[in-house]
């Protein structure tokens, strides 16, 4: 109890010390710093940029006077990510910045204490180091004078060291968790501040090397620590990589400040006046303090004396050299580190700076004062921990702690904004001169070809001959925009159209009249050739994304993070202790990666948005509006009967999450695919074994039919998952003979049938189960099966009761309208079976596959010793054999997708056969996967009339009709090709009148059949020339 009370008291003391040190942050509504205004401007920008969905942050679209600049690509983005996180709670940009300032002091102090406590197990040593780390002139200068986010680096550094200290003092699962947390916080450190991280990461590296030497870890732990450190750079590479490799696309570093003129004197390090101006050339007119700190100098002096005494005792006692070094290693390291840091700050080190170019890039040697504060504070703590005399210990602790607080008492207050400028912060966005500037020194973040930055007067659209064109901004925000403009090619002299958009290589996607167009750099602005425009009305749109280089490093950072998650799962679950489980897990991860790639890559371009998707979207939007429904999808077109509405309700959360955006179908596909993978692995592992489950999923991952089935956002997509679930419940019933399993199997069957009619043909799966039921006269179980199957249809029954059995009559009519001739089934089966194996359609192939799988499933069933597995395979064989006869009997004109469910028994058989072939089976599996993968690659391409294509077309229509005169919309398209557009028009709020008297804007498919105004692949939009002319700009705006 006493120990807890002391801990609470220490915690309160440290928090109180931080509150006292940071009280000046909240003294004024806003205070003056060197860079504060620039950060306020950037935070205003980043909040909007984040709302627009850019992640990772790259582009500051409102800066550079709306031309934009890649600020977050090069300048310490941690503060901006934190601002995005904090702002929703404060709703005030300046107060957000204050909260981050204060938290940097609080976290840095607390974690410095935690780190030293973990290293030394000495309370006073940890408290003393934390206080000297907090009450340091340079730490206050960063917040109150410079306003530099460098303070975040010094807040994160102790957190990294604390987790590494825990890591070295732990084993097993905790070791891995702490190694991950240290690595993660190391990644945060790499994005906290460019130059601070450049010096702090090497300090961490040396710290780790010393710790490894002291702990004498085995090779495995050494490798994990090394990986942890390297992974910090890996996870931070999304910023580090582009910042280094894309700097050549800007003017950063082209004009170094005269770094030789910014070395402070030794006297300035000892004592210099606390002022709020800048570092001037030379030292005479310096307007800011470069003090290391009275307490810090005292620490160095005491450490020198302490070190001399230790050397004396070492010589007198004739101790071993390495024992002496190991016993005083931290004092030596931080003492020498402090002296070397001071050396680098002073002019005496200029020869070294001249030889090492990266040093020159930090511009000001006094930036290393932060490193000096850290090393001296650490030195103080480790030195205290070594002092054995309580009296000396207390005297030094009290003396240094008192001096560190008293010595900085005048440094904790900010400089208020002058009365003349205070009004600018009442409405920073409208009144402050820096709100829309580049916010960088010398505007160095702009393109190398730019002579100067943009200005408010920079035209939105012009030519390279300085000709302003008649234009009107349709919409413009930080990461996207579109502009209407008029061009008369007979009058203009320029051959380039220049957009008022800052150029940065490969980051923009520019479209002209709906078509993607190449662009180049014209004096720092985006431009394209005039020959790509048409005479008269044009629309140019752009969107800021991620360059190829940025994407590579984004994926690299994500890969390191995912590797860490996989490692944590392996160690926290104990998989690492079992070699077979470890291999199985890693194979599962590999298969899942391949599987999810084929189901997520380029989804918007692969997914359609036709009749089914529009129906689902409209119904879901009605549900979210409070109009619940008892009816689900309709079978066999507009005249068919209805199924229950469960699929609509499954889709509802995804449309809610995306604000009714059709992109919800993409999210649903990825979610459902992930769910299918997990459930299938668990089910097949239990019904058969893990090896068979992995083979099945490996085949499913790349099979062309499965890839096609899994990437169509409509109700049949749920069938495979429900089929797998049904297999499991039948397996459980056959194994345990419990009524609950047959009831649940009935519900799953009813849910499957509610999703799509093809599930009816899975009914033969119950054959082995029904044989047992009737053989053992368990008629109650049969009743439970029927009851479970009926329950999902309760909503439809309610509907029929209210509508004179309308749906029942439609079903009766459907069953009577069966077609004639076996050819109608075989013709479809030819195409499905060929798609299933990646071959060309043929009757011979179709019959061969049908007979092979029919015989294969039953023969395999007879050879399996496990009776339950045998019956499951017998059920799957019954499903396969009965498929074609049932289609012939029940379905008038089956479509290909009606056979989707047969992929499950087909791949189950192939998986079992490959597993039984052992090594040759592995070789065969790889060959089959390669073949299937090649067959599936075309499925990754854009499809005609994709969701992306339709959405872009309607989005463009929204842009050109914004604030326009009335118009109506029609469709010049083949039958049923107008689907999807009406929902998109409503979603994008394209306000067409619906009046036959208004000009008609037409969607044309295919666009080649007539003249169109805008085109998107096979889709065109025709806009009447008169309406277009009347609604295009006449004056530049």
Chain segment 521-571, per-residue pLDDT in tens: 999 999 999 988 988 888 999 999 999 999 999 999 999 999 999 999 999
pLDDT for residue 814: 59
| Cβ–Cβ < 8 Å for 540, 460 | no
pLDDT for residue 317: 73
- Backbone φ and ψ for 265, nearest 5 degrees, come out as -85, 165
Residue 961 is assigned to a structural domain of this protein: yes
pLDDT for residue 941: 92
The tokens for 361 are: 């890039």
Beta bridge mates, 480: 543
CB atoms within 10 A of CB 885: 12
Task: Return the CA Rg of the chain.
Answer: 35
- Per the rule left: phi > 0, alpha: psi between -120 and 50, beta: everything else, 502 is beta
- Angle subtended by helix axes 646-657 and 664-687, to nearest 10: 120
Q: Are residues 957 and 930 in the same domain?
A: no
Residues with Cβ within 8 Å of 942's Cβ and at least 6 positions away in sequence, in order, are 602, 605, 606, 948, 949, 1017
- Angle subtended by helix axes 219-235 and 150-168, to nearest 10: 160
pLDDT for residue 686: 95
Q: Any idea which residue has 């006077």 for tokens?
A: 65
Per-residue pLDDT for 1036 more than 50? no
Torsion, Cα of 671, 677, 683, 687 (10° steps): 160
pLDDT for residue 441: 81
Write the DSSP string, 568-601. Answer: HHHHHTTGGG-HHHHHHHHHHHHHHHHHHHHHHT
The tokens for 724 are: 């797998």
Residues 196-221, mean pLDDT to the nearest whole number: 89
C-alpha 729/C-alpha 727 separation (Å) is 6
- Range from 311-325, 810-824, 907-921 carrying the lowest mean pLDDT: 810-824
Question: What's the domain range around 969?
Answer: 947-1030
Per-residue pLDDT for 407 more than 80? yes
pLDDT for residue 823: 67
Chain segment 426-474, per-residue pLDDT in tens: 899 888 989 999 988 888 899 999 999 999 999 999 999 988 888 888 8
Residue 914 is assigned to a structural domain of this protein: yes
Q: Cα 329 vs. chain centroid, distance in angstroms?
A: 42
C-alpha 844/C-alpha 559 separation (Å) is 46
Residue 378 is assigned to a structural domain of this protein: yes
Residues 897-910, mean pLDDT to the nearest whole number: 93
Q: Are residues 935 and 957 in the same domain?
A: no
Helix (H) or strand (E) holding 836: helix 823-837
Residues 88-106, mean pLDDT to the nearest whole number: 95
- Range from 572-581, 668-677, 692-701, 871-880 carrying the lowest mean pLDDT: 572-581
Residue 98, helix vs strand vs coil: helix
Q: Any idea which residue has 């009935």 for tokens?
A: 746
Chain segment 15-39, per-residue pLDDT in tens: 999 999 999 999 989 999 999 999 9
Q: Are residues 361 and 508 in the same domain?
A: no
| Cβ–Cβ < 8 Å for 772, 812 | no
Total domains present in the chain: 4
Per-residue pLDDT for 1017 more than 90? no
- Backbone φ and ψ for 504, nearest 5 degrees, come out as -150, 130
Q: Cα 867 vs. chain centroid, distance in angstroms?
A: 47
Torsion, Cα of 1009, 1015, 1019, 1020 (10° steps): -60
Per-residue pLDDT for 500 more than 70? yes
Q: Are residues 936 and 954 in the same domain?
A: no
pTM value is: 0.88
C-alpha 143/C-alpha 98 separation (Å) is 9
Among the three residues 891, 915, 940, which one is the final residue of a domain in this structure?
940
Residue 663 is assigned to a structural domain of this protein: yes
Number of residues in the chain: 1037
Residue 263 is assigned to a structural domain of this protein: yes
pLDDT for residue 921: 87
Q: Are residues 887 and 951 in the same domain?
A: no
C-alpha 428/C-alpha 811 separation (Å) is 67
pLDDT for residue 490: 85
Residues 594-602, mean pLDDT to the nearest whole number: 94
Chain segment 657-695, per-residue pLDDT in tens: 999 999 999 999 999 999 999 999 999 999 999 999 999
Write the DSSP string, 365-414. Answer: GGGGHHHHHHHHHHHHHHHHHH---HHHHHHHHHHHHHHHHHTTTTSS-P
DSSP summary character for residue 526: E
Distances, alpha carbon 87 to alpha carbons 18, 51, 156, 985, in Å: 22, 12, 20, 34
- Measured distance between the N- and C-terminal CA atoms of the chain, rounded to whole angstroms: 72
Q: Cα 277 vs. chain centroid, distance in angstroms?
A: 41
Residues 588-603, mean pLDDT to the nearest whole number: 94
Q: Are residues 922 and 952 in the same domain?
A: no
Q: Are residues 401 and 449 in the same domain?
A: no
Chain segment 128-168, per-residue pLDDT in tens: 999 999 999 999 999 999 999 999 999 999 999 999 999 99
Per-residue pLDDT for 372 more than 50? yes
Helix (H) or strand (E) holding 1021: strand 1019-1022
Residues with Cβ within 8 Å of 552's Cβ and at least 6 positions away in sequence, in order, are 241
Among the three residues 940, 973, 1004, which one is the final residue of a domain in this structure?
940
Residues 391-406, mean pLDDT to the nearest whole number: 90
The tokens for 385 are: 């921990």
C-alpha 911/C-alpha 605 separation (Å) is 32
Distances, alpha carbon 1037 to alpha carbons 617, 887, 912, in Å: 38, 65, 69
pLDDT for residue 801: 77
Q: Are residues 936 and 1005 in the same domain?
A: no
| Closest by CA position to 1024, among listed 935, 950, 964 | 964
Residue 450 is assigned to a structural domain of this protein: yes
The tokens for 118 are: 């973990």
pLDDT for residue 635: 65
DSSP H helical segments within 529-578, as ranges?
548-572
Distances, alpha carbon 293 to alpha carbons 130, 307, 400, 525, 673, in Å: 15, 21, 11, 48, 60
DSSP summary character for residue 943: P
Residue 52 is assigned to a structural domain of this protein: no
Among the three residues 915, 940, 965, which one is the final residue of a domain in this structure?
940
Q: Any idea which residue has 């056969």 for tokens?
A: 913
Mean pLDDT of the chain: 90
Q: Are residues 193 and 307 in the same domain?
A: yes
Per-residue pLDDT for 306 more than 90? no
Q: Are residues 869 and 979 in the same domain?
A: no
Q: Are residues 466 and 505 in the same domain?
A: yes
C-alpha 922/C-alpha 698 separation (Å) is 11
Strands 1000-1004 and 968-972: parallel
The tokens for 252 are: 């950063």
| Cβ–Cβ < 8 Å for 1037, 473 | yes
pLDDT for residue 1037: 41
| Closest by CA position to 483, among listed 493, 496, 492, 470 | 470
C-alpha 1016/C-alpha 952 separation (Å) is 8
Chain segment 235-265, per-residue pLDDT in tens: 999 999 999 999 999 998 776 567 788 899 9
- Range from 317-331, 745-759, 813-827, 950-964 carrying the lowest mean pLDDT: 813-827
Strands 496-502 and 471-476: unpaired
C-alpha 46/C-alpha 871 separation (Å) is 61
Residues with Cβ within 8 Å of 430's Cβ and at least 6 positions away in sequence, in order, are none
Residue 203 is assigned to a structural domain of this protein: yes
| Cβ–Cβ < 8 Å for 459, 265 | no
Residues with Cβ within 8 Å of 128's Cβ and at least 6 positions away in sequence, in order, are 380, 381, 384, 397, 400, 401
Q: Are residues 225 and 366 in the same domain?
A: yes
| Cβ–Cβ < 8 Å for 614, 980 | yes
The tokens for 470 are: 């008649």
Per-residue pLDDT for 819 more than 60? no
| Closest by CA position to 765, among listed 823, 687, 836 | 687
- Range from 61-75, 630-644, 765-779 carrying the lowest mean pLDDT: 630-644
Per-residue pLDDT for 270 more than 80? yes
CB atoms within 10 A of CB 794: 12
- Backbone φ and ψ for 441, nearest 5 degrees, come out as -70, 120
> b/e map of 681-709 (b: 16 or more CB within 10 Å)?
bebbbebbebbbbbbbbbbbbbbbbbbbb
CATH number at residue 519: 2.60.40
> b/e map of 302-330 (b: 16 or more CB within 10 Å)?
bbeebbeebeeebeeeeeeeeebeeebbb
- Backbone φ and ψ for 515, nearest 5 degrees, come out as -105, 135
């Amino acid at each position: 109890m006493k120990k807890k009370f002391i801990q609470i008291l220490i915690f309160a003391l440290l928090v109180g010390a931080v509150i006292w040190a940071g009280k000046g942050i909240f003294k004024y509504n806003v205070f003056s710093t060197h860079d504060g205004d620039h950060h306020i401007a950037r935070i205003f920008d980043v909040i909007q940029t984040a709302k627009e969905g850019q992640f990772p942050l790259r582009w500051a679209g409102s800066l550079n006077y709306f031309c934009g600049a890649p600020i977050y690509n090069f300048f310490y983005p941690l503060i901006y990510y934190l601002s995005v996180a904090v702002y929703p709670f404060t709703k005030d940009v300046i107060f957000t910045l204050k909260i981050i300032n204060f938290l940097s002091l609080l976290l840095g102090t607390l974690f410095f204490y935690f780190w030293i406590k973990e290293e030394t197990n000495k309370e006073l040593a940890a408290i003393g180091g934390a206080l000297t780390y907090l009450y340091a002139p340079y730490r206050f200068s960063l917040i109150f004078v410079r306003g530099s986010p460098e303070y975040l680096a010094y807040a994160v550094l102790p957190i990294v060291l604390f987790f590494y200290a825990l890591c070295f003092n732990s084993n097993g699962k905790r070791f891995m968790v702490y190694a991950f947390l240290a690595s993660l916080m190391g990644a945060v450190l790499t994005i906290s501040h460019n130059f601070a991280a450049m010096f702090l990461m090497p300090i961490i590296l040396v710290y780790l090397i010393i710790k490894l030497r002291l702990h004498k870890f085995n090779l495995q732990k050494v490798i994990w620590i090394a990986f942890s450190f390297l992974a910090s750079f890996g996870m931070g590479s999304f910023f580090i990589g582009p910042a280094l490799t894309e700097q050549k696309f800007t003017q950063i570093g082209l004009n170094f400040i005269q770094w030789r003129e910014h070395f402070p004197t030794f006297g300035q390090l000892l004592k210099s006046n606390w002022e709020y101006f800048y570092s001037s050339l030379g030292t005479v007119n310096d307007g800011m303090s470069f003090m290391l700190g009275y307490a810090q100098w005292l620490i160095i002096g005491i450490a020198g004396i302490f070190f001399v005494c230790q050397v004396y005792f070492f010589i007198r006692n004739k101790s071993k050299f390495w024992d002496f070094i190991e016993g005083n290693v931290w004092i030596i390291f931080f003492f020498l580190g402090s002296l070397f840091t001071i050396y680098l700050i002073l002019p005496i080190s200029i020869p070294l700076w001249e030889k090492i170019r990266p040093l020159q890039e930090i511009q000001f040697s006094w930036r290393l004062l932060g490193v000096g504060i850290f090393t001296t504070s650490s030195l103080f703590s480790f030195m205290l921990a070594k002092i054995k005399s309580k009296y000396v210990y207390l005297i030094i602790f009290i003396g240094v702690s008192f001096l560190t607080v008293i010595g900085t008492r005048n440094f904790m207050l900010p400089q208020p904004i002058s009365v003349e400028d205070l009004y600018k912060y009442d409405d920073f966005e409208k009144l402050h001169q820096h709100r829309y500037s580049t916010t960088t020194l010398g505007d160095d973040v702009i393109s190398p070809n730019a002579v100067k930055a943009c200005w408010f007067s920079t035209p939105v659209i012009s030519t390279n001959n300085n000709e302003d064109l008649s234009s009107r901004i349709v919409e413009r925000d930080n990461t996207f925009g579109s502009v209407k403009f008029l061009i008369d090619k007979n009058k203009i002299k320029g051959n380039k159209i220049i957009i008022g958009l800052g150029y940065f290589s490969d980051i923009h996607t520019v479209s002209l009249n709906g078509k993607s167009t190449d662009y180049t750099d014209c004096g720092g602005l985006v431009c394209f050739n005039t020959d790509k425009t048409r005479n008269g009305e044009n629309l140019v749109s752009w969107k800021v994304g991620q360059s190829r280089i940025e994407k590579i490093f984004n994926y690299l950072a994500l890969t390191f993070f995912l590797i860490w998650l996989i490692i944590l799962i392996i160690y926290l679950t104990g998989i690492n202790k079992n070699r077979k489980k470890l291999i199985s897990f890693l194979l599962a991860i590999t298969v899942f990666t391949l599987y999810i790639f084929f189901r997520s890559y380029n989804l918007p371009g692969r997914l359609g948005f036709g009749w089914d998707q529009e129906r689902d979207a409209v119904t879901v939007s009605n549900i979210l509006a409070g109009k619940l429904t008892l009816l689900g999808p309709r079978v066999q077109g507009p005249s068919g009967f209805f199924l229950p509405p469960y699929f609509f309700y499954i889709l509802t959360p995804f449309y809610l999450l995306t604000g009714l955006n059709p992109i919800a179908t993409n999210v649903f596909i990825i979610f459902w695919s992930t769910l299918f993978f997990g459930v299938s692995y668990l089910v097949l592992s239990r019904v058969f074994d893990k090896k068979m489950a992995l083979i099945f999923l490996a085949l499913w991952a790349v099979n062309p039919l499965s890839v096609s089935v899994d990437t169509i956002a409509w109700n049949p997509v749920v069938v495979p998952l429900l089929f797998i679930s049904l297999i499991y419940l039948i397996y459980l019933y056959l194994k345990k003979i419990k009524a609950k399993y047959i009831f649940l199997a009935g519900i799953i069957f009813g849910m499957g049938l509610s999703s799509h009619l093809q599930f009816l043909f899975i009914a033969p799966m119950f054959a082995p189960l029904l044989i047992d039921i009737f053989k053992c006269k368990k008629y109650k179980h049969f009743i439970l099966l029927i009851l479970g199957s009926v329950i999902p249809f309760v909503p439809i029954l309610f509907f029929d009761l209210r509508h004179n059995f309308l749906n029942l009559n439609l079903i009766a009519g459907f069953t009577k309208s069966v077609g004639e001739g076996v050819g109608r089934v075989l013709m479809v089966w030819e195409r499905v079976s060929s798609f299933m194996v990646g071959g060309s359609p043929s009757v011979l192939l179709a019959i061969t596959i049908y007979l092979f799988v029919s015989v294969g499933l039953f023969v395999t069933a007879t050879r399996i010793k496990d009776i339950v597995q045998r019956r499951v395979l017998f059920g799957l064989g019954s499903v396969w054999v009965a498929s074609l006869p049932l289609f012939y009997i029940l379905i008038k004109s089956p479509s290909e997708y009606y056979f989707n469910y047969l992929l499950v028994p087909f791949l189950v058989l192939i998986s079992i056969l490959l597993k039984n072939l052992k090594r040759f089976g592995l070789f065969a599996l790889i060959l089959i996967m390669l073949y299937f993968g090649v067959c599936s690659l075309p499925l990754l391409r854009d499809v005609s009339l994709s969701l992306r294509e339709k959405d872009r077309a309607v989005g463009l229509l929204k842009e050109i009709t914004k604030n326009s005169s009335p118009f109506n919309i029609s469709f010049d398209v083949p039958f049923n090709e107008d689907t999807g557009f009406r929902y998109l028009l409503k979603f994008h709020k394209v306000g067409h009148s619906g009046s036959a008297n208004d000009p008609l804007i037409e969607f044309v498919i295919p666009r080649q059949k007539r003249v169109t105004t805008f085109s998107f692949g096979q889709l065109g939009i025709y806009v009447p020339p008169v309406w277009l002319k009347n609604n295009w700009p006449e004056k530049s705006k």
